[in-house]
Amino acid sequence: MIGLEWKPVRLENLAELRQALAVKNPEVSELSLANLFLWQEFDRPQMARWENYIFLKLSPPNEPPYALEPLGSLPSPSVLETCLRQVGRLSRLPGTILPLIPLEKFIVKENRDQFDYLYLREEMVSLRGRKFDGKRNLLRRFRQACPNFEFRIISQIEERLQQDILGFFLTWAKEKDRTNGLTCLSVEDQSLALKRAFEFWDDLGLLGGMLLYKGEIKGFIVASRLNRDTAVVHFQYADLSSPGAAQTLLWEACLSLLQPFPLINLEQDLGIPGLRKAKLSYHPLRLIAKYDVEPIGSS
């Protein structure tokens, strides 16, 4: 077997990965430059070079290690097989890769919990039609309860602002855990990712905005560029005690912060029923299917 030299993804790899991802122009959110750096403590990403490709391996604590689609030109079946044999399985693969998988050797499985939700930004701003009646009603409720609220684009992520945002998140997480429970990502995991976002805000090209009422944070959102046409939203937290805050936060972000992007990727639902219902309620343009690939007989 070919021996690859796996190394942790570090800041010094940023320029190389940015260039490789720009060429790839990926659709899946896992191949966001920001996601590769923000969740380092959770995903423990590593990279290795082979021929003209960059292999990426993630080793989260809640599932076996897996490799993402190799970065470089469209991989041949032999490249995919090399990567798969090195790591044990491929995951979060887009459907465009499936024709390259030798089905006599490998099993392909749909991974519905990891499908990304893709939306037209213009539709999320206009909210036209009866299907969005509920969203428009929630926007009105928030405006009535919080007149003269402000959506402020974050231009500088100063220390005091970092503490305010982190404090809001911890309050949100405490209430969320009390009412509905949290995802497989713990409060600590999400806090660490937020702190990393603050640390590398400019390096990762992050975009952020806050929903404010009388100087109090009612929500915040953090996003970045995924590809030429798409912004991907990494964090979106809104006051659970203010009906319509979440909808207003997203609407305002789509109106101004994310205005340059025709498409918005709201990432996965992780198989959480409430999250799936919420994302479907915005009537996505489409779901970006993802697949897992393993050698036959490995399960």
Q: Which amino acid is at 165?
A: I
**Distance, CA of 182 to CA of 186 (rounded, Å):** 7
Q: What is the pLDDT of residue 79?
A: 93
Alpha carbon distance 51, 72 (integer Å): 10
Residue 176's pLDDT is what? 82
Question: What is the identity of the amino acid at 124?
Answer: M
pLDDT digits (tens, 9 = 90+) for 113-139: 999 999 999 999 999 999 999 999 999
* Region of poorest pLDDT, from 160-169, 173-182, 258-267: 173-182
CA distance 284 to 70: 27
Name, in order, each residue with C-beta under 8 angstroms of 9's C-beta and a sequence gap of 6 or more: 17, 36, 37, 40, 45, 46, 47, 56
What would the two tokens of residue 51 be?
A: 């021929």
Q: What would the pLDDT profile of 84-96 be if each residue is shown by its tens digit?
A: 999 999 999 999 9
Mean pLDDT of the chain: 94
pLDDT tens track for 45-63: 999 999 999 999 999 999 9
Virtual CA dihedral for 280, 269, 230, 201, nearest 10 degrees?
140
268 pLDDT above the threshold of 90: yes
CA distances to 86, 92, 103, 192, 208 from 57, in Å: 10, 12, 22, 20, 28
Q: Check whether 2 has a pLDDT greater than 70.
A: no
Nearest CA to 69 among 85, 48, 55? Answer: 55
Closest by CA to 84, choosing from 60, 53, 111, is: 53
β-partners of residue 47 are 7, 56
**pLDDT band for position 230 (cuts 50, 70, 90):** very high
137 in a domain, yes or no? yes
Place of tokens 């660490």: 192
Number of H helices, E strands in the chain: 10, 14
In a domain, 276, yes or no: no
User: Does some domain include residue 285?
Assistant: no
d(CA 234, CA 37): 12
Does residue 124 contact residue 265 with C-beta atoms inside 8 Å?
no
Residue 209 located in a structural domain: yes
Q: Domain check: are 108 and 147 in the same one?
A: no
Instruction: Answer yes or no: is 84 within a domain.
Output: yes
pLDDT at 180: 59
Is 74 in the same domain as 147?
Answer: no
The amino acid present at 167, given as its one-letter code, is: G
Q: Are residues 148 and 12 in the same domain?
A: no
- Assess whether 98 and 238 both reside in one domain: no
In a domain, residue 277? The reply is no
* In a shared domain, residues 108 and 120: no
In one letter, which amino acid is 251?
Answer: W
What average pLDDT does range 145-149 have in this prediction?
Answer: 97
Same domain membership, residue 192 and residue 157? yes
In this prediction, residue 245 carries a pLDDT of: 98
Q: What is the CA radius of gyration of the chain?
A: 20
One domain, residues 74 and 197: no
Instruction: Inform me whether the pLDDT recorded for 1 exceeds 60.
Output: no
Q: Is the pLDDT of residue 221 over 70?
A: yes
- Residue 32's domain comprises 7-112+290-295
More confident residue, 4 or 215: 215
- In the predicted structure, residue 211 carries a pLDDT above the cut 80: yes
pTM > 0.85: yes or no: yes
Nearest CA-CA partner of 185 in 59, 63, 46, 42:
42
Contacts of 278 (CB under 8 A, 6+ apart): none
Q: How many domains does the chain have?
A: 2
pLDDT of residue 293: 97
pLDDT computed for residue 178 by the predictor: 61
Q: Note whether 254 and 139 are same-domain residues.
A: yes
Q: What percent of the chain has pLDDT over 70?
A: 96
Residues sharing a CB contact under 8 Å with residue 106, sequence separation 6 or more, in sequence order: 81, 84, 293, 294, 295, 296
Count Cα atoms within 13 angstroms, Cβ side, for 51. Answer: 13
pLDDT in tens, 176-197: 876 555 555 688 999 999 999 9
Is 97 in the same domain as 124? no
Residues 101 and 123 placed together within one structural domain of the fold:
no
Q: Phi and psi of 217, rounded to 5°?
A: -70, 125
Question: b/e per residue, 8-21, with b = 16+ CB within 10 A?
Answer: ebeeebbeebeebb
Share of the chain above pLDDT 90, in %: 91
* pLDDT score for 186: 83
For residues 97 and 129, state if they share a domain: no
If we measure between CA atoms, which residue out of 124, 128, 134, 118 comes closest to residue 284? Answer: 118
Which CATH number characterizes residue 40's domain? 3.40.630.30
Query: Does a structural domain hold residue 1?
Result: no
Q: Is 279 within a domain?
A: no
Same-domain check for residues 121 and 107: no
User: What's the pLDDT at 145?
Assistant: 98
For residues 204-213, give the mean pLDDT.
98
Residue listed under structure tokens 């299917």: 289
The residue among 241 and 183 whose pLDDT is bigger is: 241
36: tokens are 């590769």
pLDDT beyond 60 at 103: yes
